[in-house]
Structures are given as structure tokens and as C-alpha cells.
Amino acid sequence: MSYKERLSDINRDGPVSLTQQIVDVFSGAIEAGDLGPGDRLPPTREVAERAGVNHLTAARAYRKLADLGLVTSRVGSGTFVRTAAAAAGVAAPRSGSADPGWQHYALPEETEMHSDRVVTDMLIQADQADAADLLPLSVGYPASSLYPVDRIAELTAEVLAEDAGEALQYTAIEGPLALRTALAEHMARRGAAEDPDAIISTTGARQALALVARAILRPGDVAACESPSFFGVIDSIHTAGARILPVPIDDDGIDTDALEALLRRHEIRMLAVQPRLNNPTGRDLSPERREHLIELARRHGFFILEDAIYGDIRFEGETLTPLRAEAPDHVVYVDSLTKTVGGGLRLGWVAASGPVLERIARQKRLDDTHSVTLTQLVGARFLASGDHERHLAERAIPFYRERRDALLEALGTELSPVASWVHPRGGGHLFLTLHEPLDDRELLDEAIRQGVAYVPGAAILPERPRATHMRLSFGFLEPSEIREAVRRLGTAIRAVRRARRPSAAPRSLPVA
């Protein structure tokens, strides 16, 4: 039986996962010499069809084969058997040889959160986009072409030439003073005067969110979170063991009257909010609601976790100061340079005042002692030299704006009869709602079949969705690709609408 025939023969009811069975088919073919060094593997779409699996399962299997060192992907040309693959294949653990099944009993029980799958799929989709002819409107970070590569290379060389001893050495838990000073000045330029000692440098804003949630919340506590939000915020609160109460947002940001009503019934310890250019709506908290929110925090004694990661990427509307400037003892501020300078640099930070700062520093020490010294020193120079402000104004904002405009134009042409969306004033995302709910799972599967991916509402809402929502991110694709992606999305929506039986009730994906 050829390996292609074996793909059609995989066992849906057996103990071995579908992904692993596909991996086994290919690694077996490589080991047996049916696939030799340099041979091209079939496109993941073909594998998915033959095996009768979702396209993402096929993509995951290819990713696993790459992790095992058996294949390599070349952007634009496909996936190929590596020259050293046969040797690697023999050494690699296969489900048949060394059976790791005992681990299922030894490991503690764990429920996979919906966002785990979304993030894993997003990274696969970004990686496999070319090979799989997939246009991922799901990827929440910009294309690498935005990053100031030459300048970062120069500054890295400078740091290594001048400060190699410091750059390769352990540093303070909070990060080098040079970076904290540059970040304090960066925040002061935005209207929130900071002492460098109020700042803790983190490994991306994602770590900052986790540290703050762990510093403030204990299992069983209640936290509130704007809805929709970023899945990392929702995860951080869940992982700290707290219960999340969703607070709706509209064009003026979080509904503070709804929050006030919740505060009458619950003891809320922390509220997570993005007051400037929320991901995914791209909207701000209005001045009246800012005031109301601060007043509520003071009256009820809760912390506000202000996530400001998109706050500088503004296309329209008045520039707003960070909320932290108005109530530094209540607001713990989280930010990073990842959406403009380089996601891989993981340059994030927290600013906080009072005992909570100590608690966050302790969590940072428990987590990873400190972030990478070299990139922190490079980041310090990038900020202090004025490069960052220039990059933001001349490159990053026009880059995102051009893509936002392309998305709005394409949506207007393709989707206005079936959907409505929130007009983003900035940021990298758009929040869309279908006029008629559709089965979330069917729609996402059909979209991927059509060659487009998005983040479904269930991953970005702390509560179970009542309508079909999508987050469409516009930083990763070229404007022409965005237009094509929206066209494919329109095709997918129409196909699922046509196939829908009138009696079928909409089915949602599980909530994180």
C-alpha cells in the first residue's frame, strides 16, 4: 500500500490521535525510502482530503514532522523531506516504538482552553500560510517587513561592542536601569510621568498580564473584563484561578454603568481593560466613562489592569493619555514594543505603584528571574535615541492604517449585506458580527477550506457568544491579500448560509 493510500486508511476511533497517525504515515514512508531526501510532500490540503481531516490537523502533522527533523518547509514552494531525515526518523520516537501513553495517567488533568487551540492554530497558520495558500486574518501581529531590522542590527552590534559584559550577564529582576529610564521617559511623553523604579521589564506584555493577574488574584476571586477582549487577558485571569465577569463594550468603550451594577452584587478585585484602542474593536474609552471608572475604582477599592499595547497605533481621534496618569495607585499599566519593533524581542513592561509593585516583582522572579539582558539593552537604545518615535510615526502607523483601510474597503464591497463591524480608530484588529448567527465550527472549517482564517468570537469573549463574531486582524497581510481574504470569507459565509437547514440551531465553540 502506498503512503497516500495509507492516509485514506487512518483510524478515527483508535487511541492514537489523527495528527500522530498522519505523522506516522509520513515518517514510515521516509524510513522505508518511499519518500527520499528532497522529495516534496503533497500540499496539506490534499493530505486533509485524503485523510478526511480538517486542514489544520494536516498542517499540525507537518509541523510535527518538521519538529522531528524529518521535513523542512520553504516559503512559497512547499514541504520537503530533509537530507538527514532518514537518520532522524530512526532516532525519533514513534507512537509504535516507544509508547508514551503512560504519561496520560501520570500527568495531572488539564482542560485545554479554547484560546490554547486558537493561539496554536494562529502560529501554524502564520507559518504555513504560503505553503497552504491560506490567508490568515487570524494572525494578531504584523508582518516582519514592518520591523526596523537594520537599526536593530546596528544597535545590537553597538551593545555587544560597548557593553558585552553587561549584555550577556544576569541583570536586575526589574530589568536594567537604562531600559527602565527610557521607558519612564517614553511614558512621560504620553502624559504618565513615571519613576524608573515603578517599572518592571517583562518578556512581552503577555508575561506582564500573567504576572499582574497572579500578583492580584487568588483562586475563587472575582475579576471583571471588558468583552470582547484579548484572549491573553482572559487566559491570565483564568490561570490565576479567578472567575471572570464580562462587561460589555460599545463605541465609547467599557459600559461603566454595567460595571457599577456588577459591583453592587460582587466583590470585584480587578478589572482588565484596554482604554485606548482596544483589541479587537479599535475603540477608546470616552472621557466621561474614564472619569466614572476611576471613581468606581476608588469607591469600591479594586485594581484596574490597563493594557495599552495598541495605544500608540492611532489613525483617528484625539490622542489620549494612559489611564494610569489619573490614578496611579489603582491602575497597573501593561505595554510592549512587540506590535511595532519586533514580536520576537519580547520587550514588554509593567508600571505600578504601592505594594502591588513588590508583588509583581516577586512573580517575575519566580517566573524567569529576569528578561533577556541583550534585547533589553537594545530596546533601551532604540527608545532613548528617538528611533522608536520616528519608527512609529513614519513607518508603523502608516503601515497599519493602509491595511485597515484595505480591510474596510473590502468589507464594504463584500460583506455589508451579511455583517456589521466596528470602525477601528487604530490598532491592528476589527470586530465583526454576522447579522444572522451561523454554526461557528462549520463556518471556521468552511473558511479554512476557502483559504482564509480568522479568530472566532468564543476566543475573545469571556462569556458564551450569543451571535457569530469574528476578530479580523489586518497587520500580517498585504493590502491586496486582505482584499482576497475578505472575498474568500464572503464565499465561506454564503456557502454555510446556503447549506444551513432551517431547523438547525446555531452551535457555538466552547468558551475559554
Ligand X SMILES: Cc1ncc(COP(=O)(O)O)c(C=O)c1O
CB of 458 to ligand X, least distance (A): 17
Residue entry with cell 468564543: 458
- According to the binding rule CB under 6 A, does residue 338 interact with ligand X? yes
- According to the binding rule CB under 6 A, does residue 204 interact with ligand X? yes
- According to the binding rule CB under 6 A, does residue 273 interact with ligand X? no
- Interacting residues with ligand X between 291 and 310 (CB under 6 A): 307, 309
Identify the helix (H) or strand (E) that includes residue 491: helix 479-499
- Interacting residues with ligand X between 425 and 464 (CB under 6 A): none
Q: CA 233, CA 273: separation in Å to the nearest integer?
A: 9
Q: What is the DSSP letter of 457?
A: G
- According to the binding rule CB under 6 A, does residue 127 interact with ligand X? no
Distances in whole angstroms, Cα of residue 446 to Cα of each of 103, 256, 441: 35, 38, 9
Distances in whole angstroms, Cα of residue 400 to Cα of each of 210, 339, 390, 473: 27, 10, 15, 10
Distances in whole angstroms, Cα of residue 436 to Cα of each of 276, 335, 497: 30, 36, 9
Q: CA 57, CA 128: separation in Å to the nearest integer?
A: 12
CB of 401 to ligand X, least distance (A): 18
- Interacting residues with ligand X between 13 and 32 (CB under 6 A): none
338 versus 353: smaller Cβ distance to ligand X: 338
CB of 259 to ligand X, least distance (A): 19
- According to the binding rule CB under 6 A, does residue 343 interact with ligand X? yes
- According to the binding rule CB under 6 A, does residue 424 interact with ligand X? no
Residue nearest to ligand X (CB): 204
426 versus 490: smaller Cβ distance to ligand X: 426
- Contact pick of 125, 236, 274, 468 for ligand X (by CB under 6 A): 274
CB of 180 to ligand X, least distance (A): 17
**C-alpha cell recorded at residue 4:** 497516500
Of 317, 329, 247, 328, nearest in space to 289 by CA: 247
**75: CB partners within 8 A, 6+ apart:** 130, 131
Identify the helix (H) or strand (E) that includes residue 127: helix 114-132
CB of 499 to ligand X, least distance (A): 33
Task: Assess contact for 381 and 176: CB atoms under 8 A.
Answer: no
296 versus 455: smaller Cβ distance to ligand X: 455
- According to the binding rule CB under 6 A, does residue 147 interact with ligand X? no
Task: Assess contact for 324 and 297: CB atoms under 8 A.
Answer: no
278 versus 450: smaller Cβ distance to ligand X: 278
- According to the binding rule CB under 6 A, does residue 473 interact with ligand X? no
22 versus 212: smaller Cβ distance to ligand X: 212
CB of 206 to ligand X, least distance (A): 3
Whether a cis peptide bond, with omega within 30° of 0, leads into 228 is: yes
- Contact pick of 19, 79, 336, 371 for ligand X (by CB under 6 A): 336
- Binding-residue total with ligand X (CB under 6 A): 14
By CB under 6 A, which span of 202-210, 219-227, 324-332, 453-461 interacts with ligand X?
A: 202-210
Burial track 94-132 (b if 16+ CB lie within 10 A, e otherwise): bbeeeeeeeeeeeeeeeeebbbeebbebbebbbbbbebb
**C-alpha cell recorded at residue 285:** 474609552
Q: Is 418 exposed, middle or buried (0-12, 13-18, 19+ CB in 10 A)?
A: middle
- According to the binding rule CB under 6 A, does residue 232 interact with ligand X? yes
Task: Assess contact for 85 and 32: CB atoms under 8 A.
Answer: no
By CB under 6 A, which span of 179-187, 203-211, 311-319, 368-376 interacts with ligand X?
A: 203-211
44 versus 336: smaller Cβ distance to ligand X: 336
- According to the binding rule CB under 6 A, does residue 205 interact with ligand X? yes
By CB under 6 A, which span of 158-166, 199-207, 298-306, 418-426 interacts with ligand X?
A: 199-207
Secondary structure string (H, E, C) spanning 240-289: CCCEEEEEEEECCEECHHHHHHHHHHCCEEEEEECCCCCCCCCCCCCHHH
CB of 412 to ligand X, least distance (A): 25
By CB under 6 A, which span of 103-111, 201-209, 292-300, 363-371 interacts with ligand X?
A: 201-209
23 versus 347: smaller Cβ distance to ligand X: 347
Please give the residue ranges that form the binding site for ligand X (CB under 6 A).
140, 204-206, 230, 232, 274, 279, 307, 309, 336, 338, 343, 348
